[in-house]
Structure 1
């Protein structure tokens, strides 16, 4: 077996463990709300509010960083073409309909960690809350059945790296 097959095998085991949790129904309901909080349009609203309250540099960081993140995200999605759990596993259906076909990386998780990193730089007292939210976005994508665990791990890394780059360039 090659490295990717080994990673996928561990991913499937971890995903199956998550799906077998006793309180999965509750986690799925919570996951819908948490996942919704990381939808793209809400970031635009946040940027507008930040702009209007004087955080113009932060908004510029967010715009540059999200452009970079979306480009890398799309290259990875189209390059790896990893099937989502519902397409990769027999007798499994996800709890929501994903917005695109492929699983790797998780865009919701990437966006959440991007926002957590950026906002933590300007509002360090909110650090724990922001990263707790971002981690739960990643978990929600797994419990909703649309991502494998490594999709969310790489999404978190992608968002964090893009935020660090954008801040490094503009601040």
Structure 2
């Protein structure tokens, strides 16, 4: 009963947020924010920090590598075990046409959000002065995935949890 109620609220919250994404500006903005969490920009960030010889950039790089080595297999295991349908297959009350084509079938957890929060947590640990700015970016990545119609809010929360836990686990191992 509790799970059904949670699913109902998750779907309802999704529908409210997604309904606001019909504006071209908002859907394009969400698309580009989401793109910042695709992966290649993480490599660019690391290279930039290393080239500029920013203090703690090697520690940051090692932390990111180990955190992603923890996060990625867990992400794949969760996604392929839970097998939660994406909003366009799951929401029956309002038809959902996603603004993008997702790269895979299942939605929980959000991989973009998990990866973004690996970076957010690594920045918090290595460059705390930049934390609030990077946290805002991470939250916008999660919100963009909802606005694009490919994730429910609980997928985003699961991605945040996975990213933070993976990075903290990596920090404990280093």
TM above 0.5: yes
Q: Do structure 1's residue 92 and structure 2's residue 91 form an aligned pair?
A: no
How many matched pairs? 169
Q: Which residue of 1 aligns with 2:163?
A: 159
Q: Which residue of 1 aligns with 2:146?
A: 142
TM-score normalised over the length of structure 2:
0.90
Aligned CA RMSD, in angstroms, stands at 1.6
Q: Which residue of 1 aligns with 2:43?
A: 44
Structure 1 residue 113: deviation in Å? 1.0
Give me the whole-angstrom Cα distance separating, in 2, the residues matched to 1:65 and 1:154: 16
Q: Which residue of 2 aligns with 1:61?
A: 63
Which of 50, 71, 81 lines up with 1:79 in the alignment? Answer: 81
Structure 1 residue 42: deviation in Å? 1.4
Q: Is the 8 A contact 1:24 1:143 kept in 2?
A: no
Q: Which residue of 2 aligns with 1:112?
A: 116
Structure 1 residue 74: deviation in Å? 0.5
Give me the whole-angstrom Cα distance separating, in 1, the residues matched to 2:84 and 2:21: 28
Q: Which residue of 2 aligns with 1:33?
A: 32
Q: Is the 8 A contact 1:27 1:140 kept in 2?
A: no
Q: What are the ranges of 5 or more consecutive residues in structure 2 without an aligned counterpart?
A: none
Give me the whole-angstrom Cα distance separating, in 2, the residues matched to 1:5 and 1:152: 18
Give me the whole-angstrom Cα distance separating, in 2, the residues matched to 1:155 and 1:27: 22
Q: Is the 8 A contact 1:106 1:152 kept in 2?
A: yes
Kindly provide the CA deviation profile for residues 43-95 of structure 1, in whole angstroms up to 9, marking residues without a partner as x.
12222333443622221111110010001100100000001011112422100
Give me the whole-angstrom Cα distance separating, in 1, the residues matched to 2:158 and 2:23: 23
Structure 1 residue 16: deviation in Å? 0.8
TM-score normalised over the length of structure 1:
0.92
SS where residue 146 of structure 1 aligns? coil
Structure 1 residue 168: deviation in Å? 1.5
Structure 1 residue 21: deviation in Å? 2.7
> In terms of mean alpha carbon deviation, does 3-12 or 155-164 score higher?
3-12
SS where residue 20 of structure 1 aligns? helix
Q: Is the 8 A contact 2:121 2:164 kept in 1?
A: yes
Give me the whole-angstrom Cα distance separating, in 1, the residues matched to 2:4 and 2:26: 28
